[in-house]
Structure 1
């Protein structure tokens, strides 16, 4: 069900009905990867099952899978950056989604991502991410906001190296 949903969304599906339509249209292709012995479930079943999946569990599984794809031959360059998700703000009631992302620069693989509540909250979020990542033999980069002693200490404790830029002082 998760495979069907991810494949459908990547191909432009925007709801349970369009996921079902995608599944019916692409059943032969889907069966190359999963049996779908009972065919494609109804849109109601798809919605019920996917709503029952905890987002944090799904993200953890995806990150673990992504980390198995990482190339560990040389020094890996991991870049941390905070961004606002385009189109995520809805009026005055719903604030824009802000994410801190850790990406392997050489292949564009996102290996960890975490929501931040504000731009200034990026520092503790990055530090928390570093505590839970394998950064051994990696070079970590981030913008000037992250030029913090605690951040550098966490990177060194994880046996990584860092390039953190300091903002130019005004004269």
Structure 2
């Protein structure tokens, strides 16, 4: 699944397409028996839904910390995105979604850290504040949306030796 997502095969059915389009290469790459049956889209779906995203995030953060250095003055964007197909309570007025809050390096084009959160249990603001604390002392410039224009969030950035740029969306009003 990781190989599929890294090569643009997003979703259950595209992962099946990956196994069909690159069957020979996958068999050679992973030293699999030639008569192997690759999973169906429903099997990929069941596997993805059973993953513990928090464990994956912790492992990813450790790997990034050891592999990808942060440069002083580097621009880092902080943002959260919902993970597709993780909605629970679709018929209720309040749905619970799993979201990934990431720190992205503008300079290098890669994610350098992320946290998983469920909106039912905590907010994106709390997850961003935790990420900012982890980046304390890196001397980076953190860019964020207006959601993160909070006194506590800004204090964490500045007290941690980093700088910040907070953007807002300005709507223009046209006169008739």
SS of the residue corresponding to residue 43 of structure 1 reads: coil
Q: Deviation digits for residues 114-158 of structure 1, max 9, x if unmatched?
A: 33517x933222112222346602101222332233223322343
Shift, 1:112, TM fit: 1.4
Over aligned residues, Cα RMSD in angstroms?
4.2
- Asked if structure 1 preserves the Cα contact closer than 8 Å seen for 2:78 and 2:101, the reply is yes
1:35 pairs with one of 30, 37, 41:
30
The separation in 1 between residues aligned to 2:82 and 2:49, in whole angstroms, is 25
Map 1:1-12 → 2, pairs under 5 A: 5-8=1-4, 10-12=8-10
Structure 1 unmatched ranges of 5 or more = none
- Asked if structure 2 preserves the Cα contact closer than 8 Å seen for 1:147 and 1:164, the reply is yes
- Shift of the 140–73 alpha-carbon distance from structure 1 to 2, 3 Å rule, reads closer
How many residue pairs end up in the alignment? 159
Give the TM-score, by structure 2 length.
0.60
- Asked if structure 2 preserves the Cα contact closer than 8 Å seen for 1:88 and 1:95, the reply is no
Q: Deviation digits for residues 25-78 of structure 1, max 9, x if unmatched?
A: 52443367x43244556538x768777753322222233344556453452111
The separation in 2 between residues aligned to 1:125 and 1:77, in whole angstroms, is 19
Q: Deviation digits for residues 70-107 of structure 1, max 9, x if unmatched?
A: 45345211112344567876843473735533222234
- Shift of the 72–133 alpha-carbon distance from structure 1 to 2, 3 Å rule, reads closer
Give the TM-score, by structure 1 length.
0.61
